[in-house]
Structure 1
Amino acid sequence: MAEQLEKTEHVDENTQVYPSRYYGWFVVILLTITYIFSYIDRQVLAMLTEDIKADFGYSDQKMALLTGTAFMLFYATMGIPLGWLSDRKPRKWIIAVGVFVWSIATALSGVAKSFAGLFLARVAVGAGEATLSPAAMSLISDLFKPESRAKAIGVYSTALGIGSGIAYLLISGILEWAGTLDLTSLATFGIDRPWQVVFLVVGFPGIFLALIYVFLKEPERIASKQAISESGEAATIFDTMKFLKKNWVAFIGVMLMVSVMTVVAYTGFWLPSLFARTWGWDPATFSYYNGSVLIILAPVCNILWGILIDKWSHKGRKDAAFRFTQMGLLLLVPTAVIFPLVPDVWTAFFLSQVSNVGITMVTTGGITALLAIVPGEIRGQTVALYYMVISIAGLFVGPNGVAYLTNVVFADESLIRYSMALIPILYGGPIILFSFFVGKAYRKQLEKV
């Protein structure tokens, strides 16, 4: 089986070498599992917000700093140097180290006894998770031809929904189980609350996942016809910035479009609180229903969009991924504005899932659209910049924007529904209009690569 997985074959007219289909999908599945782990570790703090607030007396704004700003600091800023590293060094080692770091940091969150301790642990989680997607997208681009890439990205993107669904179900289950334990024996180590046990149980398994990457075989890097470095040597970060500046409308335009999705998605940190304060669902009830739907809805949608984008691409619609991203925004933003405002809890829940369908369209379409216009030698750096932009927007505007509007503008925690409704339209509306201008520049760059 190992020999079959590592076999390579020539697949296109330019004699570029791609690994076998079997090995490509093996790596994609492993990357997807890793992405699921990362999303669970990222989401766990949001699921424990009310418990941590009760123990430490933190405000919504302090919790937003932990869920958003602390994670964002290194997740965003470390991305570009790690992307540069992914363009030069074995990506399997970069991912392995990252998984190890974020898993240990998640576990250590369970023994933190202060705001500073939790903040530093979240910074470390962000630093570790910053390694994954730039290296993963670089690997996927060297494992699949461009016209077959969307399905692989769609499968990888299922991790967001599966991870979110599993997080809601798993974390609420672990929290309930931990509540039945006698923690007297663990009190010596500073562990005397059920939420601390959740961090430990969620964090440690990732250490074993990191070891698997040591045994992967790196695929050959596939070159593109568009040269970046004028010297003929490997492109530097400055070469990358110069190239992106020259073609900024297409690249920054795609990044801004996808950032609308992350802003809306990261307001999701407040979904358990929204449903509790507005309609009376406790976090466990919301987590059960939301997790049960997402664990099916997200993977089905992401895979379906990947198949459809590839079909359009094979029929000559090279901008299929870009168009899909636009359509996703047109579905996502209106439903994200409406669902917090409706009076009935089940109507709100249904519309929130329609909004999640839009999120899956933008998730799969956005990164596929970006990879289609990025020269191979700067793929890791550009993908890192992409994740930096959408992460800064999502993690800063999403959780912090809702907290600011709720605590400062409305000065009433029960009015969180209006904060949740305002963020998507204020941020997303102008960018949707801008996306129609971006399309022309995107198609022009598409012809060059």
Structure 2
Amino acid sequence: MSLIDGNTCGQAGPDRRWPSPGYSWYMVVLLTIVYIFSFIDRFILGLLIQPIQADLGLTDTQIGLLLGPAFAIFYVLMGLPFGWLADRKRRTFIVAAGLAIWSAATAVSGLVRSFLGLFIARMSVGVGEASLSPCAMSLMADCFPKEKRGKPIAFYSMAISLGAGIAALTGAAVIAWATQSDYVTIPGLGDLAPWRVSLLVVGLPGLLLVPFVLFLREPERTVDTVTSNAQGIGYRAVFSYIRGRPAGFFGVVWVFGYVILIGFSSSWGAAAFARTWGWSPVQYGQAIGILFIVLGPLAVNLGGWMSDRLLQKGHTAAPLLVGLYGVPVMTVAGIVWPLMPSAGLGLVFLGAMLAAVALSTATGVTALLNIIPSNVRGQSVAIYYMATALLGQGLGPLCVGLMNDHVFGYDNLRYSMASLPVIFGIPLFLAVPWILKNYRQSFEKLNSPQS
């Protein structure tokens, strides 16, 4: 029997036969590679802030808009229809189409000549990437039983760190090569600035993955004690379900939205190191790339392992607890690293912050899936990503840009970045007991035999 034979999926119901481990992990690995490519395309712009500003004459607020809302708002708007489709249509086709869109849009980002053009290109990246996670999480949930989902979802989440690390190292290598001259001549495109070449180089290879995703075979959809069939239902019913249990859902969004906010504040890292310690994008890209690749996967897989172990021991809030374990570390490190007297010390605390973010992000969707019925997983994951993207990526980079333009000034970017964890972290710390209490109640309601 083939290890990637999608027909190994069994029928939904009490006697459910899960897909073979070989097929399930093949799908997880392929989706993780796609996620890595998505994060490369998402991260690369932050490494190129300084040369883009010099070329296009953009303010920090405009850069904040490109790093945050340009991507996040349209990621959110398209997440809902993609989530609806994920509960009804062939999910692998949806992911393949999205992959083609965001890869092409990243490449086109290197060709635009204005803030508006770059904004539209970043918007298109958000539209394409919105297709991925609702479908990927729904697929993985249909390949693994509840008590075994932590590891594959954590493995998939590892792409955040790997993608950022590969983006940083790739960007650093391309910039180092391209900056040997003021422009790089590309046949048919003419003379391009190094930052433009970097976007082309990281965007186009994603198109090569489209056929592999297109021909994946899907597992059958599962059911649970709350649903009687595997057919998706509408968003009105999904929002109604969430409104009936709002505290559990929004507690998860609050915790992991904050984690994403802290993580995406590092989009300003290259600019902060340049303005504070005089580092070039190449120096920063090499250093942060190694940190991401070494620390990220270890932290993410540790988070998944911890979640599975705690859940097996009867801790119903296990994924949420693991997420909360990283919050104090990322908050303190996020305040401290920009204020260090040297770049070396700054990197140490930045690494601690990124490791804590990676640990926490490993369990965000697992926490959500454990309190959501199976026939609304795709749409619920889409709503989760919508809310966390608005809070985390939408607000984080933009707030830094606004504070820098209107409060601290261009050369004091470090103070804008250090302020962010204080502003958003204190309310979360105060709400933790309430969040945990309501999450446990939501878990018990879903998994009760009377549900």
Q: TM-score range by the shorter chain?
A: over 0.9
Residue equivalent to 2:356:
358
Task: Report the count of equivalent residues.
Answer: 446
1:10 offset after TM fit, Å?
Answer: 6.3
1:420 offset after TM fit, Å?
Answer: 0.6
Q: Kindly indicate whether the alpha-carbon contact (under 8 Å) linking 1:140 and 1:153 is maintained by their aligned counterparts in 2.
A: yes
Residue equivalent to 1:97:
97
Does residue 422 of structure 2 align to residue 416 of structure 1? no
**Structure 1 length-normalised TM:** 0.95
Question: Which amino acid is the alignment partner of residue 91 of structure 1?
Answer: R
Identity %: 37
Q: Kindly indicate whether the alpha-carbon contact (under 8 Å) linking 1:257 and 1:432 is maintained by their aligned counterparts in 2.
A: no
Secondary structure of the residue that 2:224 maps to in structure 1?
coil
Question: Which amino acid is the alignment partner of residue 221 of structure 1?
Answer: R
Indicate how the Cα distance of structure 1 residues 9 and 95 shifts in structure 2: closer, same or farther if over 3 A, else same: closer
1:115 offset after TM fit, Å?
Answer: 1.5
- Distance, in Å, in 2 between the alignment partners of 1:278 and 1:179 is 22
1:446 aligned to 422, 435, 443, which one?
Answer: 443
Q: Kindly indicate whether the alpha-carbon contact (under 8 Å) linking 2:333 and 2:353 is maintained by their aligned counterparts in 1.
A: yes
1:294 offset after TM fit, Å?
Answer: 1.1
Residue equivalent to 1:259:
257
User: C-alpha offsets along residues 69-103 of structure 1, whole Å, 9 cap, x if unaligned?
Assistant: 21112111111111011000111001000000001
- Distance, in Å, in 1 between the alignment partners of 2:30 and 2:434 is 38
Does residue 427 of structure 2 align to residue 430 of structure 1? yes
Secondary structure of the residue that 2:18 maps to in structure 1?
strand
**Structure 2 length-normalised TM:** 0.94
Report which stretch shifted further, 237-246 or 334-343. Answer: 334-343
Report which stretch shifted further, 86-95 or 314-323. Answer: 314-323
Indicate how the Cα distance of structure 1 residues 188 and 234 shifts in structure 2: closer, same or farther if over 3 A, else same: closer
User: C-alpha offsets along residues 19-76 of structure 1, whole Å, 9 cap, x if unaligned?
Assistant: 1111111100001100100000011111111111111111111111112121112111
Question: Which amino acid is the alignment partner of residue 146 of structure 1?
Answer: K
- Distance, in Å, in 2 between the alignment partners of 1:138 and 1:4 is 18
Question: CA RMSD for the aligned pairs?
Answer: 2.1
Residue equivalent to 1:309:
307
Report which stretch shifted further, 166-175 or 187-196. Answer: 187-196
Q: Kindly indicate whether the alpha-carbon contact (under 8 Å) linking 1:7 and 1:20 is maintained by their aligned counterparts in 2.
A: no
1:7 offset after TM fit, Å?
Answer: 5.6
1:226 offset after TM fit, Å?
Answer: 1.5
Secondary structure of the residue that 1:18 maps to in structure 2?
coil
- Distance, in Å, in 1 between the alignment partners of 2:299 and 2:126 is 27
Q: Kindly indicate whether the alpha-carbon contact (under 8 Å) linking 1:46 and 1:270 is maintained by their aligned counterparts in 2.
A: yes
Report which stretch shifted further, 180-189 or 286-295. Answer: 180-189
User: C-alpha offsets along residues 323-362 of structure 1, whole Å, 9 cap, x if unaligned?
Assistant: 1111111221122112212223222211111111210122
Q: Kindly indicate whether the alpha-carbon contact (under 8 Å) linking 1:39 and 1:163 is maintained by their aligned counterparts in 2.
A: yes
Question: Which amino acid is the alignment partner of residue 164 of structure 2?
Answer: S
- Distance, in Å, in 1 between the alignment partners of 2:258 and 2:350 is 16
Indicate how the Cα distance of structure 1 residues 165 and 16 shifts in structure 2: closer, same or farther if over 3 A, else same: same
- Distance, in Å, in 1 between the alignment partners of 2:315 and 2:267 is 36
Question: Which amino acid is the alignment partner of residue 248 of structure 2?
Answer: A
Q: Kindly indicate whether the alpha-carbon contact (under 8 Å) linking 1:150 and 1:306 is maintained by their aligned counterparts in 2.
A: yes
User: C-alpha offsets along residues 301-343 of structure 1, whole Å, 9 cap, x if unaligned?
Assistant: 1112211211222222222111111111122112211221222
Report which stretch shifted further, 349-358 or 240-249. Answer: 349-358
- Distance, in Å, in 2 between the alignment partners of 1:425 and 1:179 is 38
1:331 aligned to 313, 323, 329, which one?
Answer: 329
Q: Kindly indicate whether the alpha-carbon contact (under 8 Å) linking 1:259 and 1:394 is maintained by their aligned counterparts in 2.
A: yes
Report which stretch shifted further, 96-105 or 232-241. Answer: 232-241
- Distance, in Å, in 2 between the alignment partners of 1:160 and 1:254 is 19
Does residue 107 of structure 2 align to residue 110 of structure 1? no
Secondary structure of the residue that 2:219 maps to in structure 1?
coil
Residue equivalent to 2:449:
none
Report which stretch shifted further, 359-368 or 246-255. Answer: 359-368
User: C-alpha offsets along residues 190-216 of structure 1, whole Å, 9 cap, x if unaligned?
Assistant: 542122111111111111111111211
Question: Which amino acid is the alignment partner of residue 447 of structure 1?
Answer: E
- Mapping for residues 48-127 of structure 1, pairs under 5 Å: 48-127=48-127
- Distance, in Å, in 2 between the alignment partners of 1:213 and 1:444 is 38
